[in-house]
Structure 1
Amino acid sequence: QKFVPLSFEEKYTLGEVRVLHQDTPTVTETESAVQEIRLRPLVILQGHGTVAVGKDLQEAFLLTDLLEEAVRCQLYQNERTPRSVSEPNSSRGKNSEATQPGDAAYPLFSHEHMSALAQSANGDPQFQAQGQEAGLTTTLTLQSEDTQTAWTVHFHEGKITRLESGGQGDFVISGNREWWEAIFRRRIDPFLATQQGKLKLERGELWQLSRWFKPFQRAFTLWQNIPIK
């Protein structure tokens, strides 16, 4: 059970908000809550309420208010939208994109891993269509701070044309291995991780990346289905 954001604002401020099971009148299963709070700013404890973390109490309460309003908007939308129209969103992730048992797992940011990322994006018509429409031509560096491993991905008109070892991209996104693993294992959204400071945009501006939000979001959705080890 979880709240799945729909709008860019929801994804950037809340991300996916998980509902954690609790069996008792008091919160006794705290370990899972602590693990989730390390990844995202908000979590729901079933039968109790929300736990939010912010720079101060005002920000923490604001996150809870934002979640409440987002849930209300989705409930209102669901009441007004015919089931046949909203069904594709609810079945997202049950198609061929899902990770299949037995798929090869790659060491994070190894050459094999990066090659698999490029192959998955280039083989996806939706990514290529969105990339061409948005004019996705740039270089993006993904960097692990722990190991100082960096790969630069070259995009040209919605297609990955080259992979290059090193951090010389127009945009450089850097973070610890812990957060990269959480992203590639679908535990946290990359845009939310950037907003929270878990990932840092070392080079380039976020507003410049935002014009390519749709193809990048699609790429990460595909990449999160590639197992890592």
Structure 2
Amino acid sequence: MIKPATFNFLKDLAKNNNREWFQENKGRHDEARNNVLEFVGELIMELSKIDKTISADLDPKTCVMRIYRDVRFSLNKTPYKTNFGAGISQQGKNFNGPGYYLHIHPEESFVAGGCWMPEAEMLKSIRQEIDYSGNDFRDIVTAPDFKEYFGEPDQEYKLKTMPKGYSADHPDIKYLKLKSFTFTHSMDPKELTRNDAVEAVINGFERLHPFMIFLRNAIS
């Protein structure tokens, strides 16, 4: 589980997002990060039983993202993220394709997964697979268990016009217009502090698994 001390560190960091405070509290960061690494290690072990492409030996250090922000191209110059994030795939967090994601934040934690902003060729392949296998895709994303948990796909990145080669009356146009193929489920951060926190996250990842298989087949 994620310890309350980990969330407390993130809360304090949000109020004191500067290098001087961070250096004074580096020990707290290291303890919080170790807590997250341990938690992600447990997730990997359980996820490997569901998704055979994920090795039980995957090092959680390859999955947990650094807390340092890249401020080079951002108007927000605060140096640190106020969350811990973990991306899980065969390659850990550095995946170009489908992956699972856990966002750990004191106010807005969530589980998610899919292909975030795939490159042009991969995006084309996913759209083609939805076009060719629309019934299979809809069976996955509109299944009652999946729909109740995730709702609609994330809508942050999508075309305002029709994608090239597809008409407005295509039965799956609302999916074909997407530029990211991801689903997200918000979690109460308190869920992550409970003894069954691993099970709660794995519950979301397990529901995502058929969607992940579809995406992998599309780009293979």
TM-score by length of 1: 0.27
TM-score normalised by L of structure 2: 0.28
The structure, 1 or 2, with the larger RCO (C-alpha pairs under 8 Å, 6+ apart) is 2
Greater share of residues in helix: 2
